[in-house]
Structure 1
Amino acid sequence: MSAARVSPDDLKGTAVPPDQRKVIGTSIKRVEDPKLLRGRGRYIDDVVLDGMLHAVVLRSPYPHARIVAIDAERARQAPGVVAVMTGIEAASYIAPIPEAGPHPDKHVWRVLAADKVRYVGEGVAVVVAENRYLAEDARDLIDVTYEVLEPIVDPLVAAEDTGNLVHDLLETNVALEHTFEFGDPDAVFADADLVVKDRLRWRRSAGTPLDTSGAVAEYDEGTGELTIHSNSLSGTTGHFALAATLGIPGNKFDMKPYYAGGSFGAKQLCWRAALTAAMMAKYTGRPVKYVEDRLDHTFNGDQIGSDRYYEVELAVMRTGELKGLKIDVVDDYGAYIQFGVASHGNAMAQPTGPYRMRALKYHVRAVLTNKTQQGAYRGFGTDAGNWVLERMVDKAAAELGMDPTEMRRMNFIRPDQFPYRAPGGNMYDSGDYEPVLDHAMRLLDYGGWREKQAQMRAAGRHVGIGVATCNERSVYGPTEFWFWSDKVLDGPTSSPEGVRLSIDAQASFTVTLFSKPFEGNSPDTVASMLVAEEFDIDPHDVAVQHHGSKGGLPSAGPGGSRLTVMLAGAVQGASRVLKDKMRLIAAHRLAVNKDELEWVDGGFQLIDLPETRLSLAQLAEIAHFYKIDLPEGMESALDASFVYDHPFLTKPAADRSDLGIFYPCVGHACHLAVVEADPETGQVTILDYAAVHDSGVLVNPRSYDGQIVGGTAQGIATTLSEEFAFDDSGQPLTTTFWDYLMPTAMDVPEIRIGHEETPSPITANGVKGGGEAGRLMAPSALSSAIDDALREFGVRVLDLPATPERLVTMIDRGA
């Protein structure tokens, strides 16, 4: 790998020593909770505008078919119907949706299908009526004539088939094929004492938020301005794409934010919901609401996670030293590619996890099929990458007869090796992994459980203990979206986050966020705590407001576990601007040099004479009401805007010998699981669970613990029950929550949570992201535990979810 080592001197952050923190690191109740718990938080379906119409979408019952004709006249004449728009009509009314597929210039993705449908649930027409009931009745009156085509379902077959194509404009169903090699993997594998091989299968699952995607749009024909009320989490930097699709200038387009009742990636963009409402509002001249029902969301949402077939090899020495990794993966993307293959970029951010391997070969084929497209689901490919790596480490430990915790320990990156460049080029900013493992083992009582396990096995019970030690990349850089293409040598490199911070004449604080309201990391609470830390105030005294896209500061919004880090940098930047101004005011008023002053306990005071000071309240009053007493050239008020960009980002090499630094804030976690498996039924019961995370400096441990519990619950679901399945004809088999089995409170155990803290050297306050905590680790820990519980039957979890049926089948085969 040609990349030069990053020196610690190159990394500039501002980690606050623990003994100097006043607010950061304390657990507080979320500042947004009183509003939400009282039912005062507005969600998208709460929006009602005068004259508002309601939209519903007619969806295809076929996975692959040409649209021969659509007869919508009966629907147009139905009571209460104001308009019907078909896919062909929509194609002439608005532009294609921006996407990062293999040939975006060929415009294959539209809000409604115009030529043929490519999955069950793809929209073919929109009806708007005076209410939802009338719209749904009219939708049933639309007649569509289809020419049914052979469905393309199996990605392994589709990859080789050039005769039956998902998109006729393309020449293949393989949207992208690429191989990266770093560190001479062939030589490393030739010298290895042992090469461990496996075929692994990671199936589709998804976030299932209570609040589906939706939008209410209103168009002003007099001014040409379009406003979309939306629960999209996309920041202001993404809204230009919607404006361009709709043919609206950016300065006449406003996307107003609302609380999202759950996202987990599903609401990263919500472009189809927003475009459906906006297109019809512009067409009818009246406000239009479109909110997905559960079937809309299931069939046509953007929440579907990775769907992959892996062939993996791990090079190992007899000592247990891990030397190299080869991954060959076929990824079933469904009918469209919204985010390119960035989920593999996520995996390439930490391809060898916390281990000191230097050789890597990564081959990916992204295949198009007649299924709902993939979107963003918590982990966005890193979840599958972690699971595959940990599966191989477990297998190597078993073949060498080593304790799985000790194999991991001996291969950890050492503290003195940070900042560490992983194969591929991404940087891990900081870490100390052994204390995390030790903490988790103490928390679970690993030794005690091994003794109890022996006793329980002697009594005929099948109890297993599993371990996972995984990394969690955070704070994405946009290069991960384009470094896969050899054709793109100079793509976007900005992923900013802006805030505005104001102090009024009464010394009251207002922070304006340009990212969207999001319960995940509780940005209102995070921003309030960061402001409180800077100015020695109570975080509950900070007012938080969210700005729409029009006239807003740049914001990439949440995603990729970035928002806490980015808000920390932006709030610190704005705070410094205000403090610098107040320092000048204090120096002028006290007739001293500004360097003689220091900020202490909510005011500026003389370093050598602390009783001579001006409090925050006094400084705010002077700034607002005493213009003549301000320093020459200074304007009244205390108001600052600050845009914080990526903390550490480098471009990929033109020949891709180095992918650059693009996900540099890397945390670490150890999860330990104890399970009991019933070989007769395949039922798995979790007996104990411990999770210890190191995500740098924690802002609000209370909120972060909630992230860990929620993410672990989703990881349990991915491991044991949740799967969006299709039959051989491309028809979805999991259409309701009777079929798509989410865990209940009875299935998720009490989770013992611990924290270690290795500050990031590159971020404000030393924080790292942790929004995907739990889900990135739980599948690996539980798979390891199931293996251990059913080892005597030859069971090894190779296919997720490990449902009772699959486990019993493996047991029967082993027996």
Structure 2
Amino acid sequence: MSIAEHTPDTAAPDRTGYRWVGRSVPRKEDPRLLAGRGGYIGDVTVPGMLHAAVLRSPHAHARIVSIDTSAARALPGVVAVLTGAEALAHVNPMTSFCAEPVPQHAVAVDKVRYPGEAVASVAATDRYVAEDACALIRVEYELLPPVVDPVQAMGPDAGRVHDTLDSNVVFQRSLDFGDVEGDLARAHTVVRRTARWHRMGAQPIETAGAICSYDPYAKDMTVWSNTNFHNFLPWSFAGMLGVPNNRLRMIPCAAGGSFGSKHLINKVIAIAGALSRAAGRPVKFLEDRIDNISANDNVGCDRIYDAELAVSADGEFTGLTLKIIDDYGAYFQFAHGQHGNAMAQPTGPYRIGSLRYDVSCVLTNKVQQGFFRGAGADPGNFILERLVDAAADELGIDRAELRRRNFIRPDEFPYKVPTGNVYDSGDYEAVLDRALEIADLGYWEKEKERLRAEGRYLGIGLASCQERTGYNASEWWFLYDNPPLGATSTPESIKLNVDATGGVRVELGCPLWGNSPETVVSQVVAEEFGIDPADVSVGYADSTTGAPSAGPGGSRLTIMLSGATRGASRSIRAKMIRIAANAMEMAPEDVECVDGTFRAKGAPHTSMSMSDVAMRAHLFKHDNPEEEKSGLVETFTYDHPYSTPPAADRTDMGAFYPMVSHACHIPIVEVDPETGVVTVLKYYAVNDCGTLMNPALVEGQVVGGIVQGIGAALMEEYSYGADGTLGTPTFREYLLPSVHEAPEIVLEHRETPSPFTEYGVKGAGEGGRLVAPTAIASAIGDALKPLGVWIDELPMTPERVVAAVAAAREAR
């Protein structure tokens, strides 16, 4: 794979007011990561620590008749063995944010509901002994009919995944925004399509893990983990672990990849916590690869769409209906929360006046759905762009022109979409035009004709999609009339300290998730004080010292850290200006901070260094203004910069994801209809995520997302058999894209700064991933169009490509 980045003068923003914002400052995180000193959970060792392993069910759906753990307990080196019922003496059910009675235990009690669910856990002197002990446990099961197909699961005769529910349809709601029926009735054409999006998983290099150490004398628990929510929802972990929140200390570890999958990781923490209480010693549980694939807390969504797009005679989009069946697997941890992401941008970049959103959340005997990069917005992009391409075909309008006619125009921002969310800014036509220009479609169209004369099938894809960024927690619950947790705050905090020598240290409330929080914070501090980012020291707080922090997720961290860091920096800077002004016998308004120096405006030789002012602030109280307290420490919490609550009748879901990035992707693929192999030859992308805080970091996020999107489009899928067996339990069956599947990627940026955020930044962490699968589907469809193939399912594995070609030929 090679990457070519173009930045033409027409797209270059005016950054004359910034020194560090917008520069590709080297990543602060890289040196220790490259030296193997990242501080991952696998690196942490605690004196007296035991290691855990888990026995997992081979069945999708079964009652646990009996468990015999005697042989495991007798194995030398084994310290504790817990069944699900025994674990309940030490920990509570796992945290759940749904209103429905869907209890979940880290180790199954009475019944298993998906293949790979834990039925017993062991703590031993090393992992090998623990695994051997698991092999000695004997479980008698009463097999139950597996519930696998989500449509069949909705039937009245389907077996129930949870006996606490009347049906496997755990949640259903249909909402109309605007005059949907009228727009359908008045339409010249109603384009109807179905789509199938299969579940995939994050597959991080490092799996989820935790070390729990319970002190029975102090009655407190210390937890080392790579979860994100240690400073956002620590009380939820405390409740699960059975300790008061003020007796829980959660210490963050670097996450070796997450892609959303390590937000609220409950299972490993509950298992390690229960075993630590039972054993009286610290216990580490780090998932192995089979643990993570079969039983992790968060896999991607799994949806069936039945959709309609109302279009006028001249190609204006007027209304959209989305009827969705969503397979949530065996549990409902975050309720319908993934549809908050989808409802932030259901009408994409288009002026569509009305929307019907009808969703049925269905439980089946599969591992649970959760948050994963895109978190439900990705299949929404897929069905919408497929409808747009279908409309272009039916109306005989060029697909780029049809998009151009329906784009939200630059002078219409901020723009409110039917659901109530607000888009902050954008110039979608300029992004499309530039993508078409750099892709040189004239050349590729000629190539397509030349290759088809040889019996080869080349396709040109096109997708114009949104990336909602900067989430608000109301999306987790707003489809409920009476939510179990009406959360509306997703704050981000930092602690900034200028020491007595003028050195700056920042302590973050978020963990390191593989992104670049230290680099971003250093750039903002440097911008505000006029110092070098390399001089800023950055560390991480635990749950007992950190202020509220929702951490990474939802493409939010640069937005929120910029706000928190700028707020703290300006508070400290203002105090230093007042102290310097007093020392120089001037008014504060006559002093400025330039290049780390506090100087008189218009007389720069009258000045004090940052260290001089800092020393006065720390040690010379009586020389400073009377109202100034000693020290230069500020903890600043930055709340969501623009949000509104949903209406009581849910006719408006509020503004909850308003910093909206945008991109146009044009991939070039070749498809072999006989073998089904799809080769991505080249990939063009133009991205707009507002002001680029650090262009190199954004490039890494977008390119990585594109490659992950290639996996979603062509190979990655959790596959279950009719008996509920997981057919993709290892990387031999669950395929991932490698460098061999990654083409040359040509990437450009345009910048429409957000009016809602500091510096005008928007998020970029999910952009490539949210667009690439849809764009590649478009390209495959274009390649196979002469054969009559329509692409309505992802991933398009070789088997599905061959089957689609065969079906099209048979239909002819």
Where does 1:226-265 land on structure 2 (aligned, <5 Å)? Answer: 226-265=221-260
1:604 is aligned to 598
Letter in structure 2 aligned against 1:95: N
3-state SS of paired residue (2:38) = coil
Where does 1:552-591 land on structure 2 (aligned, <5 Å)? Answer: 552-591=546-585
Deviation at residue 162 of structure 1 after TM alignment: 5.3
2:403 is aligned to 408
Deviation at residue 471 of structure 1 after TM alignment: 0.7
Counterparts of 1:43 and 1:772, CA distance in 2: 23
Q: Is the 8 A contact 1:96 1:107 kept in 2?
A: no
Q: Is the 8 A contact 2:201 2:293 kept in 1?
A: no
2:9 is aligned to none
Where does 1:262-277 land on structure 2 (aligned, <5 Å)? Answer: 262-277=257-272
1:21 is aligned to 18
Deviation at residue 551 of structure 1 after TM alignment: 3.1
Which stretch has the larger CA shift, 454-463 or 376-385? 454-463
Counterparts of 1:50 and 1:542, CA distance in 2: 33
2:33 is aligned to 36
What is the RMSD of the two structures over their aligned residues, measured on CA atoms? 1.4
Q: Is the 8 A contact 2:645 2:654 kept in 1?
A: yes
Which stretch has the larger CA shift, 31-40 or 218-227? 218-227
Counterparts of 1:251 and 1:322, CA distance in 2: 54
Counterparts of 1:487 and 1:223, CA distance in 2: 39
Deviation at residue 466 of structure 1 after TM alignment: 0.9
Counterparts of 1:670 and 1:571, CA distance in 2: 31
CA offset digits 1:591-648 (Å, max 9, x no partner): 1111122222222222232322222222122222322211113222211110111111
Letter in structure 1 aligned against 2:28: V
1:161 is aligned to 156
3-state SS of paired residue (1:31) = coil
Are 1:445 and 2:440 an aligned pair? Answer: yes
Q: Is the 8 A contact 1:727 1:733 kept in 2?
A: yes
CA offset digits 1:201-225 (Å, max 9, x no partner): 0001111111011111112222122
Aligned pair partner of 2:47 in 46, 50, 58: 50
Counterparts of 1:101 and 1:585, CA distance in 2: 52
3-state SS of paired residue (1:774) = helix
Are 1:112 and 2:126 an aligned pair? Answer: no
Deviation at residue 525 of structure 1 after TM alignment: 1.0
2:760 is aligned to 766
Aligned pair partner of 2:329 in 323, 329, 334: 334
Letter in structure 2 aligned against 1:145: E
Where does 1:295-334 land on structure 2 (aligned, <5 Å)? Answer: 295-334=290-329
Q: Is the 8 A contact 2:326 2:360 kept in 1?
A: yes
3-state SS of paired residue (1:779) = helix
1:67 is aligned to 64
Structure 1 residue runs of 4 or more that deviate by more than 3 Å after TM superposition: none
Which stretch has the larger CA shift, 281-290 or 346-355? 281-290
Deviation at residue 102 of structure 1 after TM alignment: 4.1
Letter in structure 2 aligned against 1:143: R
Q: Is the 8 A contact 1:497 1:557 kept in 2?
A: yes
Are 1:695 and 2:692 an aligned pair? Answer: no
Q: Is the 8 A contact 1:325 1:360 kept in 2?
A: yes
CA offset digits 1:705-743 (Å, max 9, x no partner): 011111101111111111110000100001111111111
Counterparts of 1:613 and 1:458, CA distance in 2: 75
1:784 is aligned to 778
Aligned pair partner of 1:77 in 54, 74, 79: 74
Counterparts of 1:161 and 1:509, CA distance in 2: 64
Which stretch has the larger CA shift, 615-624 or 305-314? 615-624
Deviation at residue 489 of structure 1 after TM alignment: 9.4
Aligned pair partner of 2:486 in 483, 491, 497: 491
Counterparts of 1:717 and 1:672, CA distance in 2: 17
Q: 1:190 to 1:489 in 2, by over 3 A?
A: farther
Letter in structure 1 aligned against 2:685: A
Counterparts of 1:161 and 1:607, CA distance in 2: 77
3-state SS of paired residue (2:524) = helix
Q: Is the 8 A contact 1:251 1:551 kept in 2?
A: no
Are 1:529 and 2:526 an aligned pair? Answer: no
3-state SS of paired residue (1:499) = strand
Counterparts of 2:274 and 2:526, CA distance in 1: 43
2:475 is aligned to 480
1:11 is aligned to none
Counterparts of 1:79 and 1:281, CA distance in 2: 18
2:8 is aligned to none
1:798 is aligned to 792
Deviation at residue 20 of structure 1 after TM alignment: 1.0
Aligned pair partner of 1:500 in 484, 495, 500: 495
Letter in structure 2 aligned against 1:70: I
2:706 is aligned to 712
1:99 is aligned to 96
Counterparts of 2:64 and 2:454, CA distance in 1: 63
Deviation at residue 107 of structure 1 after TM alignment: 5.6
Deviation at residue 576 of structure 1 after TM alignment: 1.3
Deviation at residue 33 of structure 1 after TM alignment: 0.5
Q: Is the 8 A contact 2:79 2:125 kept in 1?
A: yes
Q: Is the 8 A contact 1:44 1:229 kept in 2?
A: yes
Q: 1:689 to 1:135 in 2, by over 3 A?
A: same
Q: Is the 8 A contact 2:102 2:164 kept in 1?
A: no
3-state SS of paired residue (1:471) = strand
3-state SS of paired residue (1:777) = helix
Counterparts of 2:499 and 2:97, CA distance in 1: 44
| Percent identity over paired residues | 49
CA offset digits 1:225-265 (Å, max 9, x no partner): 21101011224121110101112111110110111111111
Q: Is the 8 A contact 1:234 1:558 kept in 2?
A: no
CA offset digits 1:354-407 (Å, max 9, x no partner): 000011101000000011111211100001100110011011111122221111
Aligned pair partner of 2:346 in 345, 351, 357: 351
Deviation at residue 536 of structure 1 after TM alignment: 1.3
The number of equivalent residue pairs is 797
Counterparts of 2:441 and 2:631, CA distance in 1: 58
Letter in structure 2 aligned against 1:356: R
Where does 1:154-233 land on structure 2 (aligned, <5 Å)? Answer: 154-161=149-156, 164-233=159-228
Are 1:280 and 2:275 an aligned pair? Answer: yes
Deviation at residue 490 of structure 1 after TM alignment: 8.1
Are 1:517 and 2:512 an aligned pair? Answer: yes
- TM-score after normalising by structure 1: 0.96
1:3 is aligned to none
Q: Is the 8 A contact 2:27 2:519 kept in 1?
A: yes
1:10 is aligned to none
Letter in structure 2 aligned against 1:66: R
Counterparts of 2:625 and 2:701, CA distance in 1: 47
Q: Is the 8 A contact 1:266 1:302 kept in 2?
A: yes
Letter in structure 2 aligned against 1:762: F
Q: Is the 8 A contact 1:101 1:175 kept in 2?
A: no
CA offset digits 1:31-57 (Å, max 9, x no partner): 011111111111111111111111111
Letter in structure 1 aligned against 2:191: V
Are 1:435 and 2:430 an aligned pair? Answer: yes
Q: 1:107 to 1:444 in 2, by over 3 A?
A: closer
Letter in structure 2 aligned against 1:529: Q
Deviation at residue 94 of structure 1 after TM alignment: 1.7
Counterparts of 1:445 and 1:530, CA distance in 2: 38
Structure 1: give runs of 5+ residues left out of the alignment: 1-15
3-state SS of paired residue (1:614) = strand
Letter in structure 2 aligned against 1:47: V
Letter in structure 2 aligned against 1:237: F
Counterparts of 2:281 and 2:209, CA distance in 1: 17
Deviation at residue 467 of structure 1 after TM alignment: 0.5
Q: Is the 8 A contact 1:235 1:554 kept in 2?
A: no
CA offset digits 1:285-309 (Å, max 9, x no partner): 1110100011100110123101111
CA offset digits 1:139-177 (Å, max 9, x no partner): 111111111111111110111235521001111101100
Counterparts of 2:279 and 2:485, CA distance in 1: 41
